[in-house]
Amino acid sequence: MDDRPILLFDSGVGGLSVLATVRELLPQASLVYVADSAGFPYGTKSEAEIAARVPALLGRLAERYDPRLIVIACNTASTIALGAVRAALDVPIVGTVPAIKPAAEISATRVIGVLGTDATVRQPYVADLAARFASDCTVLRHGSAALVELAEAKLRGEPADRDSCRAALAGLFDQPGGDRIDVVVNACTHFPLIADELAAAAPHAVTFVDGANGIARRVAHLTAGQDGPAKPKHRAVFTRLSAPERRLMRALARYGIDRLESL
């Protein structure tokens, strides 16, 4: 039996959308969810800041929690720092990448939207994915820091502002060709947490896709044969634990997390 936890890392609570899928597929795995609340948000930071911060922080976390696998449940951190983290740590690392390939597989209009943070959508990695897997599609991109904040607020129990959702989506759908978008890639793990609000705010019916299922399947593959404890324990760790983070306890409990810690 392997009692070591699987560690999931994000700048905030967006990675809970990935944790939920991993927990469903691997119900016997203990999970450590880490939110870099002291560094939040990542989407408005420079590549240099993220490239320096994420590997150093994950190194500390690996020492403290001895995980059998780490999931970087953050598109921004993955597109910028995944290679450096893999080079620095002797632990299997699963990253998060925009789900452009599955979006292209289901798009009928061949126009796809990629909705993420500013830092994610401007990465050459996104253009490379589009060239490799959606070369016959028009791929429109838009970054929104406001939607990240809306998702965080929703989990604290605050109502999501649909007008803000509409304003953020307008940056995508108002681009030339945006009226033909039929699939939107949620290229930020925060965005599935406000899936209902996004669907209601979209100017026409679209399908939203994300990478959580693919990540969970990859984690299951890499940990195959590693039986976990009969009663797994889940905890959340924040790099800054203040009043806003403590207001997340009710939401965290819905994900099976009943222990809160600071790093």
165 is an active site residue: no
3-state secondary structure (DSSP) of residue 86 = helix
* Catalytic residue selected from 81, 188, 209, 257: 188
Phi and psi based region of residue 231 (left: phi greater than 0; alpha: psi -120 to 50; beta: remaining): beta
Which of 263, 148, 188, 168 is closest to 18 using CA atoms?
188
Which of 111, 50, 39 is closest to 75 using CA atoms?
50
Task: Report the alpha-carbon distance of residue 100 to residue 183 in Å, rounded.
Answer: 10
* Catalytic residue selected from 34, 58, 71, 74: 74
Which of 147, 140, 157 is closest to 249 using CA atoms?
157
- In 175-254, alpha helices (H): 195-201, 212-222, 243-246, 249-253
74 is an active site residue: yes
Task: Report the alpha-carbon distance of residue 53 to residue 84 in Å, rounded.
Answer: 11
Q: Count of residues for the chain?
A: 263
Question: How far from 30 is each of 90, 105, 213, 227, CA to CA, in Å?
Answer: 20, 34, 18, 11
Give the residues across from 23 on adjacent strands.
Answer: none
Active site amino acids: 74, 188
